Structure 1
């Protein structure tokens, strides 16, 4: 029989009498060890922030880690929270949750951020029973999306989630996101209190406090997505009107009509498997991504057969060729050879390493056939060099060739803040219903984060569908998740 964890106040610091005094002392200690910094910092979103909170450093200061865990436990006690076990959001909250678990004899679970494709393949590790209530432990909350990425896997294995405890609430909309999802936020420190204590103790000037307050007010997440996304996202149908490439227009209209922004990466071993999968998944997808050079049974009539299935189920074909040679060479690779890609694939893609000449070469073949080209602006693999100046160069090349370049393979187009690119399509690979990665460096992300937070248009899903026990059912689940994220993003 299991028992519930019912927090009771610890009052562990005998030198400080009240909880308020303990919390104020913790704020000063966090500032002392530079867990709270002020200056000019580039955030993950690309924004420049005057404040940066880095709680990863607390693992090197046992006194701070202990104080953080005890303050979080006391907040739960004061608010009457009850739960059966707890789970720390990877990775910074794991030592905090461990400390709470050890000090208060409360069972702990762990979520794998990278789910392995061997062994037990579990997303949640630990001993638990379905129906138990699991407390979420996080270091800080901004939009609430990182918490939700742990909530979903917990719910998937039958655990209930009702409460979230954090050390710092940045007060940018996270509490509202969690509330919408049935979660109560217990925060030790609203960011406003951090500022108040540091100003009072002479660690911040009044001007700096006002600067941080203005930044927080101007960068509310709107509950679950950045303000930029909330105010400027346009519908697929609206963007079809401003698209210059015919394939992009067709794609936008197709997605709107079919209510699907799902592309399946069908990385199967044979042409026979590919055609069977296309027939099975066709009703759910807007695009099918192929690798024709993988198929030992490729024949001249492959393209005709695949086009017939695409026409029947109304989806586009994307041959993931990743051209990367000079213009003259790619002309032949695209138009002739064994595969004759331009004859049957609506879309292909290219690296920009050779320069813009590669686009000129592919355009000479594809534009008369009303084909579209995707540029690899960013990639989802670990250690990728497709970022920074490389990404900026890809964006500029697309601007110079909008008649043929239909969009990008990208991971975070929201960070680019490129207004003119609304007529282009952004597609993101490495999508799964729960976050993680694999042993080959592929990094996964959720449909909600990809569409709402990062500003992409199409989710590309591979093994999560074609290796599922029921691929058609899995495709349906991903299609619904992707479309719900899109609808949320345009409201």
Structure 2
């Protein structure tokens, strides 16, 4: 079985520009106003068949290692998680649903799309975990319908301490294929960051506003 490491997945994301790193002199500005050394756009993954297959396979392998076949559904977050959830559910031959951030205001008003039954055990697929807030909203929507969410899986997370605390407080385990600390380590290995630069940029995980001017 081909088992890839976090650095392998980090390199994949770097190679297609899904993840970019900048130094303190050229930070990205997020919509929230946060000045960030990292920009992540996992939507680009869908345009690269080999990479998207590797990512779907990696998530499926983690699910199987954790639960075998002892779950009923793969759920995905709308919209970015949907393609990855579909590919994973196809590999595992499991049914799939997807979860909107809120109920539709027309039609049946569904927040969850796809067939499901109360009592089913669910694994949730995200493309990116940042604060954990959107993931937990999806968990709550699934639980409100009587579904049991066992774990959240994703491609990438920023390693925010606040996210870890938020999910831990909720008792919700999570796992991603790679993360921001792994990415920094890879760039240091490749000589693209000095040790001092990597250590400085690593502070972003502890405090996302560390580079944001007051």
TM-score by length of 1: 0.39
Larger Rg: 1
Measured after TM superposition, the shift of residue 208 of structure 1 is 3.4
Counterpart for residue 175 of structure 2: 186
Quick check: 1:214 aligned with 2:199?
no
The CA deviation string for residues 143-181 of structure 1, in whole angstroms up to 9 with x for no partner, is 210101211211121111121112223111323212221
The CA deviation string for residues 186-239 of structure 1, in whole angstroms up to 9 with x for no partner, is 22223212211222123434343223202222238xxxxxx9xxxxxxxxxxxx
Quick check: 1:28 aligned with 2:16?
no
Does the 8 Å CA contact 1:71/1:188 hold for their aligned counterparts?
Answer: yes
Superposition pairs of residues 324-335 of structure 1, within 5 angstroms: none
The SS at the match of 2:149 is coil
Gaps of 5+ in 1: 1-10, 221-226, 228-414, 418-491
Measured after TM superposition, the shift of residue 118 of structure 1 is 2.8
Measured after TM superposition, the shift of residue 75 of structure 1 is 2.2
Q: 2:44 aligns with which of 50, 57, 79?
A: 57
Does the 8 Å CA contact 1:28/1:198 hold for their aligned counterparts?
Answer: no
Measured after TM superposition, the shift of residue 100 of structure 1 is 0.3
Counterpart for residue 98 of structure 2: 110
CA distance in 1, matches of 2:159, 2:104: 35
Q: 1:37 aligns with which of 20, 34, 38?
A: 20
The SS at the match of 2:20 is strand
Counterpart for residue 177 of structure 1: 166
Indicate the structure whose relative CO is greater, using CA pairs within 8 Å and at least 6 residues apart.
Answer: 2
Q: 1:134 aligns with which of 105, 112, 122?
A: 122
Superposition pairs of residues 10-409 of structure 1, within 5 angstroms: 11=1, 13=2, 18-20=3-5, 23-39=6-22, 40-80=27-67, 82-113=70-101, 115-172=103-160, 173-219=162-208
The SS at the match of 1:180 is helix
The SS at the match of 1:161 is strand
Measured after TM superposition, the shift of residue 97 of structure 1 is 0.6
Q: Runs in 1 of length 4+ with deviation above 6 angstroms?
A: none
Does the 8 Å CA contact 1:50/1:211 hold for their aligned counterparts?
Answer: no
The CA deviation string for residues 303-327 of structure 1, in whole angstroms up to 9 with x for no partner, is xxxxxxxxxxxxxxxxxxxxxxxxx
Assess, with a 3 A threshold, how the Cα gap between structure 1 residues 83 and 74 changes in structure 2: closer, same or farther.
same
The SS at the match of 2:91 is helix
CA distance in 2, matches of 1:203, 1:61: 24
Does the 8 Å CA contact 1:73/1:100 hold for their aligned counterparts?
Answer: yes
The SS at the match of 1:188 is strand
CA distance in 1, matches of 2:192, 2:80: 25
